[in-house]
Amino acid sequence: MELCFLGTGAGRPAKNRNVTSIILQFAQSPHGLWLFDCGEGSQHQLMHTPYKINRISHIFITHLHGDHIFGLPGLLSSRAFQGGTQPVVLFGPKGLKQWLDTTLSISQTHLGHELEIREIEEGVIFEDERYRVEARILEHRIACFGYRVVEKAQPGRLKVELLKEMGLTAGPLYGRLKRGEDVVIGDGAVIYAKYVTEPPVPGRIITILGDTKPCAGAVELARNADLVVHEATFEAALKEKAKEFGHSTTKHAALTAKEAGAKQLFLTHFSSRYNDEDTEKLVEEAREIFPNTEAARDLHAVKIKAVKTQI
């Protein structure tokens, strides 16, 4: 899995930052690319990455402020122009469908592929055999969600040497055992999968939060996460301004990660008042509380490593 920040600024684009958008890439087919928020200029940022726009299959919108959605009609239109024919599933707050349907209709934009818009509430909003996505309401000026992407536990490695001692060589039976199925071999003996496999490998957890003040929902979404993306619009000294506008400071983000027992924190959604040199000072504020903190940078990709399994 790989996370790439297409934009890390708040409110409006700046010379050194675009507005919010994040790509999550999966190694496994058919998941392809998931997009979280789509501020103005997101498709242009995408052109500076190796990711292909027509591989975007799921889009998750945190809230309907312009710096998180104004790039969406253009991105969907370009996706269609570039041969994107596979369906797209779009998740977000109530009102997203009305806004996008109206924009596409009035501009006479025809996508040429199915677009399913799911206006969500709290809870599990997506699940398949490999991943689950949970959403919770955050505390902002308008309805805003955070998302928790959970990779389900994967089968543990096979005890190959033990199987060889039993006279079983690599082949289809190995696959069945790894899937947790018991198998019967030639002499009628049963090989029980639980005895020839290591314990399951825990999946990774990625938490991507929308704009928010400190709140319980953010902590629950970030609980034991491998990586948390949390807004840090303001420095710690501006905590009253952050509260007024429904945002967080660097230390608010760090406290959330610490309380949640997260492993790594990336700060994003920086006010345009901060330049690149200021960003390091913002990170240092957060590290006083949560040492494993980094600042997100436009077009910076982060690999989220998994425990390797062997067969």
Q: Over the range 240-275, which residues count as b (16 or more CB within 10 Å of their CB) and which as e?
A: eebbebbbbbbbbbbbbbbbbebebbbbbbbbbebe
> What distance in Å separates the CA atoms of residue 186 and residue 86, rounded to the nearest whole number?
45
Residue 67 annotated in ligand binding: yes
Residue 110 annotated in ligand binding: no
Residues 6+ apart with CB under 8 A from 200: 153, 154, 155, 156
Active-site position among 67, 101, 276, 278 = 67
In the numeric block, which tokens belong to residue 286? 């957060």
Residue 211 annotated in ligand binding: yes
Residue 31 annotated in ligand binding: no
CA 10 to chain centre: 18
Residue 140 annotated in ligand binding: yes
Which residue from 24, 34, 63 is spatially nearest to 209, judged by alpha carbons? 63
Q: Which residues pair with 90 in a beta bridge?
A: 59, 117
| Residues 286/267, Cβ–Cβ less than 8 Å | yes
Residues 6+ apart with CB under 8 A from 273: none
Residue 113 annotated in ligand binding: no
Q: Would you tell me how many other CB atoms lie within 10 Å of the CB of residue 156?
A: 19
Residue with tokens 């998750």: 60
Residue 269 annotated in ligand binding: yes
Would residue 67 show up in a list of annotated catalytic residues for this protein? yes
Half-sphere exposure for 228 (CA within 13 Å, toward CB): 29
Catalytic machinery residues = 67
Specify binding-site residues: 63, 65, 67-68, 140, 211, 269
Specify binding-site residues for Zn(2+): 63, 65, 67-68, 140, 211, 269
